[in-house]
Structure 1
Amino acid sequence: MSSDPWGRVDETGTVYVRTADGEQVVGSWQAGSPEEALAYFERKYEGLVVEIGLLEKRVKTTDLSAKDAQAAIDHIREQVDAHHAVGDLDALRVRLDKLTELVEARREERKAQRAKQSDEARKAKEALVVEAEELSQSDQWRAAGERLRALVDTWKGLPRLDRKSDDELWHRFSHARSAFSKRRKQHFAQLDSQREEARRTKERLVAEAEALSNSTDWGATAARYRELMAEWKAAGRAQREHEDDLWNRFRGAQDVFFAARSSVFAERDAEQAENLKLKEELAEEAEKLLPITDLKASRAAFRTINERWEAIGHVPRDARPKVEGRMHAVERALQEAEETEWRRTNPEARARAEGLTGQLQAAVDKLRGQIEQARAQGNNARADKLERELEGRQALLDQALKGLQEFGG
């Protein structure tokens, strides 16, 4: 019979292992000496020690899931509980128990982490839903549409919640987007309808204006042209591709009529020449108000001059733009003085002016960078196109900077 501190082999070849619960049968050995039997089952014990050591390392240093870790522990524990090895099996059980506790702790830690991530994802998605619902009522069609598309990309980057919560939030989110799309579609459909209606109305007005262009009923026809002009303004704008052509035809028909009427009223030229002289004197009187120093007094004086101006009859057609332009220049100066005074005392206007200037400056800087890049890449056609665009943006920027100076900024 052979033995060691953890096991023995009796005279029948039965191998035993010593545990806290007493000796347990390991197995039967008939193939060699008792020493060889103990050595064999001790090697099996060492194998279990190595296996547990490797599992401990995996649990501590890798992202092995709690489920897989526990399955590996249970597999080793079955071998230990089967007593098919000679060694300190109780010590192995202690190590397995500690490993189980560690795995459970990791499980709870990961569970808490997942709960935290889920809570954060829930709050993030709820915030997206709230913003989408607010945007669904916006009339800023382009900006709101772009923002909603950005929200969708953000949503896709967030982890899913439990199916019920995720579906409910997504339903609200999707509903908000659909509501916005529906309102935007209705808006532009209505706009298209209005412009189409304006086109039909203006085509009718053009047809009547062209039919009247050869009329010699000067008073009634002129009155009707004034009515047609009022109807034209009330009709609103047609589609861009039709508006200018319709206006040119409408205005051209009027010009034909009024040119014919003017030739018939040639005898009135003398009176109109005198009217021109009087209006030139009034224009000169108005120009003396410049530059505007006392806004209130200048406005009152111009009102009086303008009343006298309105009381004077027509002037020759070819002289009208120049003399009226002189009065308009004074009127614009008054308006600019009023606007300057209003802007000077309006912090919101200053803030808008500063914001516009910043946007334009950023656009100019961006275009310059794109031009440099296009030149560097040898794409001169694109660079030339961008330089033409830069000229327009630079002009707007210069104008905005000039306006900003009126605030003293």
Structure 2
Amino acid sequence: MENKDLLEEAKKFGFIQDNQVWLKPFMDFPARQVGEVKEVEDESLVYFAHRFDQFQEKVMALIKKIEESENKGSFLMKVMHLKEQIGKYDAVGDFEALHKILTNAENEIKAAISRNRDKNLSTKIAMITEAEGLQESIDWKGTSERLKELRANWIKTGPVEKALNEEIEERFRTAVEHFFTRKKDFFEDKHAMLNRTLDKYKALIAQSEELKHSDDFEGTTKKLKELQNQWKEVGGNLPRKTSNELWTKFRAAHNYFFERLKNRITETKVESKEKFMEDNLNRKKQLVVEAEELLNLKNMQEATTKAKELQATWKKVGPAKGAESDRVWERFMIACDKVFEMSSLEHYMRKKPLPAEKNSPADQIHARINALRDFIKYDKQEVDVLETNLGKLSTAPSNETFRTMLQGKIRNFNRKITTKTELIDFLKSRLNNSPAASAETTVEAGSENATRQE
């Protein structure tokens, strides 16, 4: 607008009085001085008209922003501030029109705010309803995240009517705090429970550590098994890493003890076995003595029965080890063989009784010695035949079973020869110990010598 036009516009709303520039009254605002005439009155009016244009531009720029903005409520205070300045701003112009523009803007903003507050109230009531529905939840993680989202959205949501603000704020805060208080109490209880569980496990580990060096193997085994049962009953939900570390310590103490127990059992078994073997050997030695004494019995049928009983007893005694065991077995076998050979000899003698004139005790002994010599001769003949057959047998693998059988028979006949030879010595000892037969023995010996010299 040119200065001429501005001057005309200024004179509509202002005037000069006493060298001062005045704004005419409008609405409820009285006339007021806005400045002084510097030099020329019209120029002063134009100057204050320019100031009005500047103020009007500021108002219209604000109105434009309000129209373009979605959040009109944020401009309310600026509108009210400019509206308040209308009664103070030093300028000359149509302030009434600006007042109406700002008033309309203020009313529109307040209406928008009212609508937004209703919308905000609806939104916040929905958030309160959701928060109150979640306040008893035990989904601690998921609910915590959702309530945090609601709390952030609550802050972003605009205000509601002041009369309702305190009530809905309290309801929302109470619901959210109720959940987080429960969550805090739960994890405090859980932490305390985990500590109690941890203490129980540590106590069981400490007891196990104390027991692992014990030499009371039987009693400690029972105690450790009871500790293992207690460990299972503790339960709890410790972190996996912590649980594994505790179990490793607990198991190590038990493994240490039971490894010692295993070694002790092995040692005891060895000791028991050695004692068992020693007792068996002593028992077998006693059976040998009993078997060797059977030849002194007059009734060889009774001796044979007792020999068989001793053999049955021998089988029940159990094993013995070492070279001495083999020697004891050899003695026992020969002693029994002597009894059986002597029994066979007696059976043979009963079939060939001696004539009455040669039936003295010495004659009886001589007859038995001679019979044994005949038996030995027959046995040697058998051995010769067997050895001849063995020598003729080829080394083919198919003959191995037969070879083994022949070798076994040879060993048996040699054992019989040895047994009969020892029986002859036994009978000779009887003959030598018999006073009535001493002279006859001397004559027999001389006769035998003469025969050998011939």
Given the two structures, how large is their TM-score scaled by the length of structure 2?
0.38
| Bigger Rg, structure 1 or 2 | 2
Given the two structures, how large is their TM-score scaled by the length of structure 1?
0.41
